Chains A and B, each alone.
Chain A
Amino acid sequence: MIKSIRTWILVGFASLLLVACGQGGGGAGSKKSKTLDNTKKAGFVKCGVSQGLPGFSNADEAGNWTGIDVDVCRAVAAAVLGDADKVKYTPLSAKERFTALTSGEIDVLARNTTWTLSRDADIGLTFVGVNFYDGQGFMVRKASGINSVNDFKNGISACTNTGTTTELNMRDFFNSRNISYEPIAFEKADEVVQAYDAGRCDTYTTDKSGLAAQRTKLSNPDEHKVLPETISKEPLGPVVRQGDSVWEDIVRWSLNTMIEAEEYGVNSSNASSLKDSDNPAIKRLVGAEGELGAAFGLDNDWSLRIIEQVGNYGESYKKHIADTGILPNRGPNELWTKGGILYVPPAR
């Protein structure tokens, strides 16, 4: 009931906000950012996260949020407000997330959201980058004797979340193989896990990182396995509202800074000591050269604060994804210099 009412109220409010609030967002091309001003005034970054996905955004018993998506918000807070802890987290369902962003309830959406053309172009959103390259997979019971997606046969039932790209990918996949299937789509991930655990469906499909994380919530995680095949591209990344290009740049370069810092070996413990490094790229990262922050109306230490308070991408990944046992192997999320596909434009 709570969930359902929340959704309705949120959607309703969002519509009202769209209706009632004045001219939102700074005009394109202007240097002034209304979102930045509002954030500074409020003293915290309004960040939309998931309702609990270990490794990405998950709250502990004390209500502290952690995860690589959370770290994007923390980086923005460190850059803009000087303190990575000044973030207000709003947990959102897949259905609520975009409305919450377009209506201004949140200013950054870091909620393992897949970047697609229609989302980027059609509904007033702008994706600023990718903080996790993922792909959709399937989880099955080990005892089922299914070892690959080639073992799926007509009549198989598949549980998933509603309102996500997985629903569409699932159809593309089964259709292209001419397999009839029974799709069962729940609103919340917790219900999907429960239904799959009870045997309502034969397979559970979502992003592979999500499968790895949700597997830990099953009653006997060891009895389940994720199939090797990946059936889709799921570049997950932070999203902002369309129309405030300065804010968009701040979020994009906060993320890029974390990745670039890893590339140049700058981390939370050595950053301040690298101010007199010989490498100009490193000096720019720690704010000892150039005036990069001025481009978004920030001071010159914005990137140093991100690295010191949040850490570089590698540190964030290790802490939240690798050390928690979700996906110890970085796979495509390794730097381009180490065989992965993480490649960001230079900060200069």
Chain B
Amino acid sequence: MNFKNLKLNLSNKNKDLIPQVLTVLFIILVVIYFTINAQNNMGNRGISFGFGFLSQESSFDITFSLIDYDGSHSYARAFLVGLLNTILVSAIGIFFATILGVTIGIARLSQNYLVAKSAEWYVEIFRNIPLILQIFFWYFAALRALPLTVDSINFYDISFLNVKGWYVPKFVWSNFSLFLYSIIFAVILIYLLSKYAQNQRDRYGKQIPTLYISILLFIGLPSLTFLIGGVSLSFEIPELNQLSKTVYVYKGGVSIIPELISLALALSMYTATFIAENVRAGILGVNKGQKEAAASIGLTKGQILKLVVMPQALRIIIPPTTNQYLNLTKNSSLAAAIAYPDIVLVFAGTALMQTGRAIEIISITMLTYLSLSLSISVFMNWYNKKMAIKEK
């Protein structure tokens, strides 16, 4: 967002000011007119307006929730459940879309004919099929392909995959806080180390193998808490339970519902195609002379990529990739089609129906997506600025 162009210049361009003020006044009047008219019409139809319903008991249950929730909680809490589920699937989607996208993008530039062509085919196929069809495909194809609970696919007797979901062991910690502190401590140490290494390099040209030391710290410190800190970890393994002659269910452990898996899969595979193209554009956008110059002063291949190519490529990659992250987040609203309880299904769906408060609920939902998108935007703009080349 660039507000610079909107800045009012009061000192010397008063004649420019008048049309701007009039425009703002006009917009305000239109908003007031629509608000009053809406209130009148709703009044005439016996529909009240207000947000009091948010504190009422929702009295419907939700399959999958990151926080404690059941029908005795309020609509506001149901909203929060939906919001967290939207954030969860978006975060998972963004994570895998990025990894997959970067891999495919680099693969498209490979010298190996087979690798490059496969990547190209992947992009062309998944980019050109409507997302909703891909979601349905992954959901219903997966449901049809997966076995019933009793014949689950068994991963070493600790994890089970079937038509009702993917059941994984649950971590049961003792002294978890100590473990957490050790990780935070390790991160701080790594940060200090990198500062020190940079200092050494700038002053004396000395290279310190920060990467290996960091890995050692990150793994070593938390491991120590197991050995001497009394931290222990055990697993709650899902167990098969029989409910009736042919109905079985796994109990215990953590269940990842098929709706989440297929939605995250569809979103990341679809968005990855666009990110792959961004990555390819970014790398191709760096002048060949830059690499040659870097090689001529004796940098290694890894150093060329890390210090010369990527910083310049990222400038090209980040802005369009921000768009893809935003798209993915907004596309997650298609979840309603396959019963993944995101904000659209839970709040703009069930809650809207139970309360009938269309205007209030749709406004809240729209504002929520707007805030989500703006937050991602703000973060990516900050990152973009950080990555931009600073002219000295």
A contacts, CB < 8 Å to B: 1-4, 11-12, 14-15, 18-21, 23-25, 94-95, 98-99, 102, 118-119, 122-124, 141, 143-146, 151-157, 159, 162-164, 167-168, 170-172, 175, 181-188, 191, 194-195, 198-200, 202, 241-243
Contacts and interface: CB of A to CB of B under 8 A. Distances in A.
Contacts of A168: 59-60, 71, 354
Nearest to B33: A19
A163 B349 contact: yes
User: Which residue, B42, B62, B144, B246, has most C-beta atoms of chain A within 10 A?
Assistant: B246
The 8 A-B residue pairs whose C-beta atoms are closest, nearest first, are A145-B245, A123-B356, A163-B353, A1-B132, A198-B143, A155-B249, A124-B45, A19-B38
A170 to B, nearest CB: 8
B175 to A, nearest CB: 30
A86 to B, nearest CB: 26
Chain B interface residue count: which class?
35 or more
B354 to A, nearest CB: 7
A144 B246 contact: yes
**Most chain B Cβ neighbours within 10 Å, of A102, A141, A155, A162:** A162
Contacts of A143: 245-246
Given A19-B37, A162-B349, A195-B143, 10 more contacts: A11-B352, A11-B358, A11-B362, A155-B249, A156-B249, A159-B339, A187-B349, A188-B337, A199-B164, A202-B247
Given A124-B47, A171-B61, A182-B63, A1 B130 contact: yes
Given A4-B333, A95-B352, A156-B243, A242 B46 contact: yes
A175 B132 CA distance: 35
Judged by DSSP, the binding face of B is helix
Contacts of A12: 362
Contacts of A1: 130-133, 334
Contact of A21 (B41, B244, B258): B41
Contact of B47 (A102, A163, A198): A102
B339 A184 contact: yes
Contacts of B337: 3-4, 186-188, 191
B44 A24 contact: yes
Contacts of A171: 59-61, 71
13 contacts: A1-B132, A14-B358, A21-B41, A24-B45, A25-B44, A124-B356, A143-B246, A162-B345, A163-B353, A170-B61, A198-B143, A202-B247, A243-B44
Nearest to A166: B60
A188 B40 CA distance: 33
A146 B244 contact: yes
A163 B44 contact: no
Nearest to B353: A163
B62 A99 contact: no
Interface of B: 34, 37-38, 40-42, 44-48, 59-63, 71, 130-133, 140, 143-144, 148, 163-164, 241, 243-247, 249, 251, 258-259, 333-334, 336-339, 341, 344-345, 348-350, 352-359, 362
B246 A145 contact: yes
Contact of B358 (A2, A25, A99, A198): A99
A198 B141 CA distance: 10
A241 B47 CA distance: 11
Contacts of B40: 23
A164 B353 contact: yes
Contacts of B243: 152-156, 202
Given A95-B352, A202-B243, A155 B359 contact: no
Contacts of A151: 244
Given A15-B359, A155-B243, A157-B164, A4 B132 contact: yes
A38 to B, nearest CB: 16
Nearest to B139: A195
B65 to A, nearest CB: 11
B353 A124 contact: no
A1 B333 CA distance: 10
B150 to A, nearest CB: 11
B133 to A, nearest CB: 8
Contacts of B338: 186, 191
B350 to A, nearest CB: 5
Contacts of B247: 144-146, 156, 202
A157 B48 CA distance: 37
Contacts of B38: 15, 18-19
Contact of A23 (B44, B339, B350): B44
Contacts of B355: 122-123
A191 B339 contact: yes
A4 B143 contact: no
B244 A94 contact: no
Contact of B45 (A19, A95, A102): A102
A95 B349 contact: yes
Contacts of B131: 1
Contacts of A162: 336, 339, 345, 349-350, 353
A157 B47 contact: no
B148 to A, nearest CB: 5
Contacts of A198: 140, 143-144, 163
A152 B243 CA distance: 7
Contacts of B71: 168, 171, 175
B161 to A, nearest CB: 13
A72 B276 CA distance: 56
B143 A199 contact: yes
Contacts of B61: 167, 170-171, 181, 183
Given A102-B45, A243-B45, A155 B59 contact: no
Contacts of B148: 199
Contact of B140 (A19, A164, A194): A194
Contacts of B251: 155
A321 B276 CA distance: 55
A187 B45 contact: no
A112 B213 CA distance: 68
A171 B348 CA distance: 20
A79 B241 CA distance: 59
A188 B148 CA distance: 24
